[in-house]
Amino acid sequence: MSLSYAGTELELFAHATHWKAYVARHLSPYIAGRVLEVGAGIGANITQLTNRNVQDWWALEPDRKLADEITQRLQQGTLPSNCRVLVGTLDAVPRQERFDTILYIDVLEHIENDRSEVALAAELLAPGGRLIVLAPAHQFLYSPFDRSIGHFRRYNLAGLKQLTPPGCRVATAFMLDSVGFFASLANRWVLRAAMPTTAQIATWDRAIIPLSRVFDPITNYRFGKSAIIAWQTML
């Protein structure tokens, strides 16, 4: 079953190369083997997050139009040849398949029943496999932008840990973009914008993210705009 994605921000954020590289630096040690990316969008994460330890990459996307964009990029050779596209939700993945890594990059907040979703995803993990979630942080930052693109919620680390699926343990949990937190705070209480502009995204990516690279270690990665957790199946 294919669905239609209501958001229009994917192309906008696809150009946030500093942010994507920063995320990749922190997530790459946990990404290997057979990878399933849930809600792959237009495939903007694939080139940043794939690495030499990845065997193959399944891009699962419920919106057929977005999935077709990934297919076009594969045909154009701008995505790794070991990728394949699957249209649908987790129900579209054959239950006998097993993955070493399952990714939700800015996706879980779009899913109303998040607990059931991560439990179902965990069933597709191979022994020792990892389930990784990156999501917007702090419910008090929930803004018209969140609402406009279909976010049900934002997260903190404690809330993500409460979603730990059966048979899994928390491998790591941390936050990124401490300086960007204040930009989100301004949007929530001052700008109240339903969609950032291209200029705002460029400023965040080129000016704020480099600052967060400096300050995030100082905060011990416990403060920021984005929350990240990786669960691992218990052998």
Question: pLDDT tens across 2-42, in order?
Answer: 555 545 567 778 889 999 999 999 999 999 999 999 999 99
- According to the 3-state scheme, what is the secondary structure of 121-164? HHCCEEEEEEEEEEEEECHHHCCHHHHHCCCCCCECHHHHHCCC
CATH of domain 10-233: 3.40.50.150
Q: Is the pLDDT of residue 120 over 90?
A: yes
Confidence of residue 195 (pLDDT cuts 50, 70, 90): confident
Give pTM, 2 decimals. 0.93
For the chain, give every domain's residue range: 10-233
